[in-house]
């Protein structure tokens, strides 16, 4: 959450500094204007920009709220395979429209995890939507989405989302979970930082890496529910 | 009539460039703005008595790298480094650099910007 907060602080700094500068400009011009039309016009211009930039700051805050939501996490016993299938159902339309072939490799007899199912679905929606966006931007490549689950030796349930899109540069992989580092033209750069925050709040981890020669793999791990842990 | 003193603003954020430009122009300075370090270096003003308001973190060449490059080209303008990501690295750089550097945390106040320009351009003249 620290990185996310730092990113938001940085993003809000820009419009706040601009609002401050424009309003100080308006104030100092007003003092000297003495009714001169040219200066009055400059004052109006500065005030319009104050309004514009304060709206921008407000939009950043609203986008954050929409992403994070206000609900408390509701932890229940969850079957991760079911969550994956539910999300595929939710994203049926963009997957079909994007002409994307889905390959599912879900482990049998996967142990349950203790999780907020909505939040984990939110993570999955985000990762799959990113994969769809990455693959839809390129007509030359095959569009294969691999979704997999497995139970690793450390006792975690691992979920992987792999695409055959153009992938990311080494630098971009390094920064992929940093707030406000979107590679999409209209992206806010908050989707993946929030995924990271949500997964870590569940005691899990999330990583990103190249998918062989083409595309990206995002993989998150959630701790397995211990017998009796829910009642503790 | 003497030419007005020049302040150069380099920041990748358009609202910062525009608002600082408007503010300093209102105070009677000449202002030039650049969206990147590369743009500044490509179109470098020859005015030796300018001062520079410089963002630290920008895509491409960052603010610290551009200071080194300016020094290499024999330009030693007084510099206000504006940082939005903690001041420690910028302060350490300012300490070790031969350039005259002041460090400001964003959001920088209009008072600080005006005082910097006033102080630095008064000494440059």
Per-residue pLDDT reduced to its tens digit, A99-114: 999 999 999 989 999 9
Residue of B13, B16, B18, B19 to mutate, testing the A interface (most A Cβ within 10 Å of its Cβ): B19
B27 touches chain A (CB under 8 A): yes
Residue of B12, B15, B56, B106 to mutate, testing the A interface (most A Cβ within 10 Å of its Cβ): B15
> Is the pLDDT confidence value at A231 over 50?
no
What end-to-end distance do the CA atoms of chain A give, in Å? Answer: 26
> What is the signed CA dihedral for A83, A84, A86, A91, rounded to 10 degrees?
140
Burial grade of A194 (CB within 10 A; 0-12, 13-18, 19 or more)? buried
From CA A222, how far away is CA A124, in angstroms rounded? 13
Across the A/B interface, how many CB contacts are shorter than 8 Å?
A: 60
- A22 CA to chain B: closest CA distance, Å? 6
Whole-number percent of chain A with pLDDT over 70:
88
Q: Which chain B residues in 48-107 lie under 8 Å from chain A, judged by CB atoms? A: 84-85, 106-107
Per-residue pLDDT reduced to its tens digit, B38-51: 999 999 998 778 99
Q: Cβ of B19 and A49 within 8 Å?
A: yes
Q: What is the DSSP letter of A143?
A: -
Residue of B110, B112, B114, B115 to mutate, testing the A interface (most A Cβ within 10 Å of its Cβ): B110
Q: Which chain A residues in 4-63 lie under 8 Å from chain B, judged by CB atoms? A: 6, 10, 13-22, 24-25, 28-29, 42, 45-46, 49, 53, 56
Predicted pLDDT at A68: 65
- Residue A160: pLDDT band (50, 70, 90) is very high
- Nearest-5° Cα angle at B49, B44 to B50: 55
Nearest chain A residue to B113, by CA: A21
- Residue A44: pLDDT band (50, 70, 90) is very high
Predicted pLDDT at B125: 45
Nearest chain B residue to A17, by CA: B107
Between A10, A19, A42, which is nearest B84 by CB? A10
Chain B residues with CB under 8 Å of A56 CB are 15
From CA A183, how far away is CA A188, in angstroms rounded? 9
From CA B101, how far away is CA B99, in angstroms rounded? 6
> What ipTM is given for this predicted complex?
0.87
């Amino acid at each position: 959450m620290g990185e996310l907060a730092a990113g938001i602080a940085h993003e809000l700094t820009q419009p706040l500094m601009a609002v401050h500068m424009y309003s100080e400009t308006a104030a100092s011009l007003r003092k000297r204007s003495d009714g001169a039309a040219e200066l009055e016009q400059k004052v109006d211009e500065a005030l319009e920009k104050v309004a514009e930039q304060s709206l921008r700051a407000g939009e950043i805050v609203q986008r954050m709220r929409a992403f994070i939501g206000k609900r408390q996490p509701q932890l229940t016993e969850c079957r991760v395979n079911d969550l994956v299938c539910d999300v595929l159902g939710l994203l049926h339309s963009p997957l079909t429209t994007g002409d994307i072939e889905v390959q599912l490799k879900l482990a049998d007899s996967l142990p349950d995890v203790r999780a907020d199912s909505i939040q984990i679905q939110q993570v999955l929606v985000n990762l799959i939507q990113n994969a769809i966006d990455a693959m839809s931007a390129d007509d030359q490549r095959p569009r294969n989405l691999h979704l997999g689950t497995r139970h690793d030796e450390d006792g975690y349930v691992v979920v992987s989302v792999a695409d055959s899109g153009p992938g990311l540069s080494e630098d971009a992989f390094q920064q992929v979970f940093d707030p406000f580092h979107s590679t999409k033209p209209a992206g806010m750069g908050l989707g993946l930082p929030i995924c990271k925050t949500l997964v870590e709040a569940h005691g899990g981890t999330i990583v990103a890496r190249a998918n062989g020669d083409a595309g990206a793999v995002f993989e998150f791990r959630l701790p397995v529910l211990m017998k009796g842990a829910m009642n503790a | 009539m003497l030419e007005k003193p020049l302040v150069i603003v380099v920041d990748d954020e358009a609202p910062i460039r525009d608002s600082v430009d408007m503010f300093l122009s209102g105070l009677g300075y000449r202002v030039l703005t650049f969206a990147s370090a590369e743009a500044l270096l490509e179109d470098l003003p020859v005015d030796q008595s300018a001062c520079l308001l410089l963002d630290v973190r920008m895509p491409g060449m960052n603010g610290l790298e551009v200071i080194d490059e300016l020094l290499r080209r024999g330009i030693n303008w007084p510099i206000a480094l504006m940082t939005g990501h903690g001041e420690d690295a910028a302060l350490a750089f300012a300490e070790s650099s031969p350039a005259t550097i002041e460090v400001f945390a964003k959001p920088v106040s209009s008072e600080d910007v005006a005082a910097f320009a006033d102080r630095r351009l008064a000494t440059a003249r």
